[in-house]
Amino acid sequence: MKRRDGYFGSFGGAYVPEGLKVALGEVEESFYKHIEDQDFLAELAYYQKQYIGRENPLYFAERLSKEIDGAKIYLKREDLNHTGAHKINNAIGQVLLAKRMNKRRIIAETGAGQHGVATATVCALFDIECTIYMGEIDTERQALNVFRMEMLGAKVVPVKGGTRTLKDAVDAALQDYICNASDTFYLLGSAVGPHPYPTMVREFQSIIGQEARRQILEAEGRLPDYLVACVGGGSNAIGLFHPFINDEKVKIIGVEPAGKGLETGEHAASISMGSIGVIHGFKCYTLQDKYGEPLPVHSIAAGLDYPGVGPEHSYYNEIGRGEYVSITDKEALKAFFQLSKTEGIIPALESAHAIAYAIKLAKELTKQEIIIVNLSGRGDKDVEQVKKLMG
Ligand X SMILES: *Cc1c(COP(=O)(O)O)cnc(C)c1O
Q: Which stretch binds ligand X (CB under 6 A): 28-36, 172-180, 235-243, 245-253?
A: 235-243
**Is 160 in the active site?**
no
Question: From the CB of 47, what's the least distance to ligand X, in Å?
Answer: 19
Residue 146 within binding range of ligand X, rule CB under 6 A:
no
**Shortest approach of ligand X to residue 274 CB, angstroms?**
15
Choice among 87, 103, 283, 381 that is catalytic: 87
Tell me whether residue 270 is one of the annotated catalytic residues.
Answer: no
294 part of the interface to ligand X, by CB under 6 A: no
Query: Nearer Cβ to ligand X, position 128 or 352?
Result: 352
Q: Is 304 in the site for ligand X (CB under 6 A)?
A: yes
- Element housing 208 (H / E): helix 207-220
255 is an interface residue for ligand X by CB under 6 A:
no
Number of other residues whose CB lies within 10 A of the CB of residue 223? 16
CB of 354 to ligand X, least distance (A): 9
Length of the chain: 391
Distance of CA 63 to the CA centre of its chain: 28
Q: How far is residue 187 CA from its own chain's centroid?
A: 13
In 221-310, which ranges are continuous DSSP H helix?
A: 235-241, 270-273
Could you tell me the smallest distance in angstroms from the CB atom of residue 317 to ligand X? 14
**Which residues are CB-contacts of 293 (< 8 A; sequence separation ≥ 6)?**
none
Contact between 85 and ligand X (CB under 6 A)? yes
The three-state secondary structure class of 384 is helix
- Mark the segment that binds ligand X (CB under 6 A) among 149-157, 231-239, 272-280, 288-296: 231-239
**Other CB atoms within 10 A of residue 160 CB:** 11
CB of 233 to ligand X, least distance (A): 4
Of the candidate spans 3-11, 152-160, 233-241, 321-329, the one that interacts with ligand X by CB under 6 A turns out to be: 233-241
SS3 state at 13: coil
- 17-46 residues near ligand X, rule: CB under 6 A: none
Site string for ligand X, 186-215 (x = CB under 6 A): ----x-------------------------
**Closest to 273 (Cα-Cα) out of 261, 283, 281, 291:** 261
Q: Looking at beta carbons only, is 70 or 193 nearer to ligand X? A: 193
87 binds ligand X (CB under 6 A): yes
Of 350-369, binders to ligand X (CB under 6 A) are 350-351
Contacts 24+ apart (CB under 8 A), 159-166: 159/133, 159/134, 159/135, 160/136, 163/135, 163/137, 163/296, 164/135, 164/136, 164/137, 164/138, 165/111, 165/135, 165/137, 165/138, 166/109, 166/110, 166/111, 166/135, 166/138, 166/305, 166/306
- DSSP one-letter string for 117-164: HHHHHHHHHHT-EEEEEEEHHHHHHTHHHHHHHHHTTPEEEEE-STTS
What span, in angstroms and rounded, lies between the C-alpha atoms of 260 and 249? Answer: 33
Query: Is 376 annotated in the active site?
Result: yes
Using CB under 6 A as the binding rule, the residues of this chain from 330 to 349 that contact ligand X are 348
Does 233 bind ligand X (CB under 6 A)? Our answer is yes
216 counts as binding ligand X under rule CB under 6 A: no
- Binding flag, residue 108, ligand X (CB under 6 A): no
114 touching ligand X, by CB under 6 A: yes
State which residue, 114 or 131, has the beta carbon closest to ligand X.
114
Letter for the amino acid at 102?
A: N
Cβ closer to ligand X: 70 or 135? Answer: 135
CA geometry: angle 282, 294, 131, nearest 5 deg = 70
232 lines the binding site for ligand X (CB under 6 A): yes
Active site residues: 87, 109, 376
Residues in touch with ligand X (CB under 6 A): 85, 87, 114, 190, 230-237, 303-304, 348, 350-351, 376-377
